[in-house]
Structure 1
Amino acid sequence: MTETVVSYARSPLEQLEPSRFWHTFSDMNKVVQGPKFVVSEAQGVWLWDDNGDRYLDGTASLWYCNVGHGRAEIADAVHRQLGRLDAYAVYGDFANAPALELSERLASHAPVADPRVILTCGGGEAIDSAAKVARQYWAVRGRPERVHLISRTGGYHGLNGFGTSIIGMDRFRTGYGPLVTDTSVVAHDSIEELEAEILRVGPERVAAFFAEPVIGAGGVYAPGPDYFARVAALCEYYGILFVVDSVICGFARLGNWFGIERWGVRPDMIVFAKGVTSGYLPLGGVIVSGAVAEPFWNEPGHPLHHGTTYAGHPTCCAAALANLDILEREDLFTASREIEVQLDSAVRTLATHPMVREVRSGVGVMAAVELTEEALAAGITTAEIFQESRARGVVLRAVPTALLISPPLVIAWEQIEHLVSTLRASLDAVAQRHVD
């Protein structure tokens, strides 16, 4: 496959005037000093910038474009819904047909007993919703002291109030002053540490435990084979709500609906977003077990004073329904399991590269390529490798010590090979530059 070398000429947009757009997750002092990467078109697994150069989307944007870019079915569903009912709030007893249909459809696939569905605009809002439901559940059960939330190192739970407070990466928690109190973080792979923390806090004070099926943005860490079975048993023993954050892992990225099914457990709540619409429109939510919903649904006087303006947005729900149609019609669940094996076999060839300390892959269509301590100590950064790879026509994601891969689920074998060979060439080029 021919590689496209990116031109760094100023784009037509940038020739007008300096941009006033504040890029998140960025050092704006650096961003304003160079040309911007302006994505102008996308189709399947490919992106084009505003210079017309093509790139392989090795991250499905931010883990979410599961069905690939440019699906006419989703655009058509959005257009039809906009022409019928563009938007309307779902507070009180208000509803709309797409929100009702989507809730039923998600509930029918969820590994949760007697599920109910809260809709939000994205994963961060959904995490906050789950945290507030967990705390209020215990309050209405007469146990208002059960407010403590436990999460895991490396866990990413969005950057809203509760999400920032339970995130498992310190760099996202600093500089904001006091966060939500009564939270703590334990090692992502240690049942013993989780139980010790429950006992330290006091089981009678712990409301919920949050965990991703596979830690995604924190570096792609899969659980041990019996980890979640032991977590579920531990939470049941101490009466703690088990909340699964499937924002990254859901909707076929792990070969099933919500990711957690691979370990055969039934959590009390599942948080979802991203792949539910493949990112075409923003939508997220929480699937809540009937047991947790029971006092709110079946007992008077317990309103949940929580919600968001655009929750249950009919056009976003229409996009989700069309996206789910594609997932099922094209059986991207089976395709995902096949791609998982292909990606694993390809990316593991990088394990012998002198700059690579570890490759993590094999559970879901996601992988991490971790740099050696020697490479990092020599001043090589993942950002530098990211830039080199993008200059060669492949977009990956850089975190402090690793490059992350999570392509759309419609990627072909030859495109996987192109992605991995480009990453290898990028590693070589950066290594050579530091030698020179």
Structure 2
Amino acid sequence: MVQQVELKDYLIDLDKKHFIHPTSSLKQQHESGAPFIFTEGKGVYLTDITGKKVLEGMSSLWNVNVGYGRKELAEAARDQMEKLAYTNSFSSMSNEPAIRLAAKIAEITPGNLHAVFFTSGGSEANDTAYKLVRYYWKLKGFTNKTKIISRQKAYHGVNIGATSATGISPFHQMTSSLAPDFLHVDAFSAEALRECIEKEGAETIAAFIAEPVQGAGGVNIAPEGYFKEIRKICDEHHILFIADEVITGFGRTGKMFACEHYDVVPDVMLVAKGITSGYVPLGAVIIAETIHRELVELSEGVLLHGYTYSGHATACAVGLKNIEIIEKENLVENARLMGKELLEGFFEIQREVDIVGEVRALGLIGAVEIVDPVTNNRFPTLVAPKVSAEAAKRGLIVRTVGFEGMDTVVFAPPLIINKQEIRELIEILRESLLAVQESL
């Protein structure tokens, strides 16, 4: 135990000196170091360097869908690395895993989504989509169709285009130079989209982008009929509809893809995260067959866009095996069933804990709002981070959303979670909320 403590202190010191953490407080990291240094994962649990075991209520970053410690994925990576770890996909070069994964994605995505451009993650997938839809309209002679309409509270990534599409103001405040031609409308008002199109002119708008369920913006679930109306508006005005399924894809919501809940098919779909369950980086842009065909027919010369690791052989081999696990173990249906258990647990807590406001979930993605029971509004200072800290002490990892007027605890456990583990999550959450409530 002494050796473990000494090693932890040593690693924390190195961490503070040399590791700049993404989406973290630089000051807090420098002063306090890492709250956890994880060394092992198994199922829905992580173990840190001191031996503490915690339930991962967020699948890390919404992405470890098949759970931790899957030897099948390690073996798929090893086998592919032994044969061909990587070769580039530029100049029409290809490899078998990339070809097979593209075909598999075309098979399982809804409607006529058909052709795949691989990236290394969700932010790259977003920026790629913006370039492709603008390129598409340019080839068709509509050179003014460049604007991308996104939504308030949307999160689309941190590349310059993806940051510009994101509808969360703190992400914009980090830089003084956002990309042009990005607009934002009310998150769930089809009428707001119509008004924006009328104001800007449909002839200037390339695409509308939306997450079927807003993730980092607070797990905001669309009202019935919203996406049907959005699809109709886009069709009426010859605007492409992009569905960002980076968080929701591959079973998270109890459907393979969340847009299936709303019976709509986008022109472009973006995926990442759950495509490999986080075991290796991979993302993709999937486009409709009609768009692909027109791009082929109208383009000349080279498509001057691509990443070094587009179609990475090992990543694609892991992606194939990951989808095989999701299908073989019926994890989409498990997400639907365990999602009901999760939501019922939220309702139990809501009835018992005064500071809990609205609760919501769709499959295994959910949220619990924190409110002042006297005013039914948000407390003057954020409370959700206190809940997260209490939960971590008790063995549960969750995330919080504390911007755009929200004070929310969010959840996205691995799709393999069972009833007993759901109950453990709910009990720790209840204890943490009651502890925080008592301290207010």
Does residue 1:285 correspond to 2:291, yes or no?
Answer: no
- 1:268-320 deviation digits (Å, cap 9, x = unpaired): 00000000101100000010112222232123515321111111000000110
**Which of 381, 398, 402 is residue 379 of structure 1 equivalent to?**
381
**Which of 402, 412, 416 is residue 410 of structure 1 equivalent to?**
416
Give the superposition deviation at 1:256.
Answer: 2.4
Q: 1:408 to 1:31 in 2, by over 3 A?
A: same
Corresponding residue for residue 356 of structure 2: 356
The whole-number CA distance in structure 2 between the counterparts of 1:380 and 1:325 is 41
Give the superposition deviation at 1:75.
Answer: 0.5
Contact 2:8/2:50 (8 A) holds in 1: no
Does residue 1:424 correspond to 2:430, yes or no?
Answer: yes
Give the superposition deviation at 1:18.
Answer: 4.2
Corresponding residue for residue 41 of structure 1: 40
Does residue 1:343 correspond to 2:349, yes or no?
Answer: no
Q: Alignment identity in percent?
A: 35
The whole-number CA distance in structure 2 between the counterparts of 1:114 and 1:45 is 32
Contact 1:157/1:166 (8 A) holds in 2: yes
The whole-number CA distance in structure 2 between the counterparts of 1:10 and 1:385 is 26
Give the superposition deviation at 1:155.
Answer: 1.1
Corresponding residue for residue 294 of structure 2: 295
Q: Output the amino acid matched with 1:421.
A: E
Corresponding residue for residue 181 of structure 2: 182
Corresponding residue for residue 256 of structure 2: 257
Q: 1:398 to 1:243 in 2, by over 3 A?
A: same
The whole-number CA distance in structure 2 between the counterparts of 1:11 and 1:396 is 27
1:13-412 pair list within 5 angstroms = 13-15=8-10, 17-19=13-15, 20-36=18-34, 37-113=36-112, 115-301=114-300, 303-352=302-351, 353-361=353-361, 363-373=362-372, 376-377=378-379, 379-400=381-402, 401-412=407-418
The whole-number CA distance in structure 1 between the counterparts of 2:238 and 2:301 is 21
Q: Output the amino acid matched with 1:413.
A: K
The whole-number CA distance in structure 1 between the counterparts of 2:299 and 2:379 is 61
Contact 1:296/1:304 (8 A) holds in 2: no
Q: 1:300 to 1:15 in 2, by over 3 A?
A: closer
Q: 1:326 to 1:26 in 2, by over 3 A?
A: same
Q: Output the amino acid matched with 2:10.
A: Q
More off after superposition, 74-83 vs 366-375: 366-375
Q: Secondary structure at the match of 1:377?
A: coil
- 1:213-256 deviation digits (Å, cap 9, x = unpaired): 11111111111121111111110000000000000111011222
More off after superposition, 91-100 vs 332-341: 332-341
Contact 2:139/2:298 (8 A) holds in 1: no
The whole-number CA distance in structure 2 between the counterparts of 1:311 and 1:132 is 16
Q: Output the amino acid matched with 1:382.
A: A
Q: Output the amino acid matched with 1:347.
A: F
Give the superposition deviation at 1:28.
Answer: 1.6
The whole-number CA distance in structure 2 between the counterparts of 1:376 and 1:344 is 22
Q: Output the amino acid matched with 2:75.
A: D
Contact 1:155/1:217 (8 A) holds in 2: yes
Q: Output the amino acid matched with 2:395.
A: G
Q: 1:271 to 1:144 in 2, by over 3 A?
A: same
- 1:169-197 deviation digits (Å, cap 9, x = unpaired): 11111131121111111111100001101
- CA RMSD in angstroms comes to 1.7
Corresponding residue for residue 4 of structure 1: none
The whole-number CA distance in structure 1 between the counterparts of 2:226 and 2:392 is 37
Higher fraction of helix: 2
Q: Output the amino acid matched with 2:360.
A: R
Give the superposition deviation at 1:364.
Answer: 2.0
Give the superposition deviation at 1:409.
Answer: 0.7
**TM-score, structure 1 length as denominator?**
0.94
Q: Secondary structure at the match of 2:209?
A: strand
Give the superposition deviation at 1:112.
Answer: 3.8
The whole-number CA distance in structure 2 between the counterparts of 1:339 and 1:364 is 7
- 1:113-137 deviation digits (Å, cap 9, x = unpaired): 2611100000000000111001111
Identify unmatched segments of 5+ residues in structure 2: none
Q: Output the amino acid matched with 2:399.
A: R
Q: Secondary structure at the match of 1:69?
A: coil
Q: Output the amino acid matched with 2:439.
A: R
Contact 1:296/1:302 (8 A) holds in 2: no
Q: Output the amino acid matched with 1:360.
A: R
Q: Secondary structure at the match of 2:367?
A: strand
Q: Secondary structure at the match of 1:104?
A: helix
Q: 1:418 to 1:273 in 2, by over 3 A?
A: same
Q: 1:11 to 1:285 in 2, by over 3 A?
A: farther
More off after superposition, 366-375 vs 397-406: 366-375
The whole-number CA distance in structure 1 between the counterparts of 2:274 and 2:310 is 17
Q: Secondary structure at the match of 1:33?
A: helix
- How many residue pairs are counted as aligned between the two chains? 426
The whole-number CA distance in structure 2 between the counterparts of 1:355 and 1:414 is 25
Give the superposition deviation at 1:32.
Answer: 2.2
Give the superposition deviation at 1:381.
Answer: 2.8
